[in-house]
Amino acid sequence: MRLIARTIMCMKLMTMMSANRAYQATDLARNHRQVVDAARDGIAVIRDKDGTALVMTTASVLERAQEIGGTAVALVQVAQALAEPADRRTTSAYGDFAWLRPLPEDAQRLFLAEMTDRLLVVAAGGRLDQLTELVGDWLATAEAWADADTREALLTDERAPLLDAEL
């Protein structure tokens, strides 16, 4: 969980520090093309007359930051849920990942570790769809565990003789 919190802090700092230059509010009227070009290249920080820092960027950069930040917060919720004893966990404690509840605890912890690793890769510039792919894989696993017949088959001892097997 400490790693996730540190990642969120780094993302905030990177967002504020990644602009090469701060523009004045008057630059929007005088040199608007320069300010817009800086925003298209990443981030343009504009200082208002009262000293407030405003950020201009593309919608895709903002959406990416929101997706990464939202996923980080959701993973913190999962980590907090897993910190509770299993008999005291509620489905809602898992937040956006409530579908994890039917999975065995070791699988839930593996999900948290894999998603945290993938989130760090994506935050460092990886493709955002890498998160979607991993969530899809885990969701399919959770759906299999939620089905009683499938769960029973998954828990069956692999060395046990197969019944009704045709050769």
Specify the pTM. Answer: 0.74
**pLDDT per position as a tens digit, 82-106:** 999 999 999 999 999 999 998 999 9
So where are the chain's domains? 2-57, 61-155
The distance in angstroms from the start CA to the end CA of the chain is: 50
Distance CA 125, CA 11 (A): 11
**pLDDT per position as a tens digit, 112-158:** 999 999 999 998 888 999 999 999 999 999 998 888 777 777 677 65
**pLDDT per position as a tens digit, 13-46:** 555 555 567 899 889 889 999 999 988 988 889 9
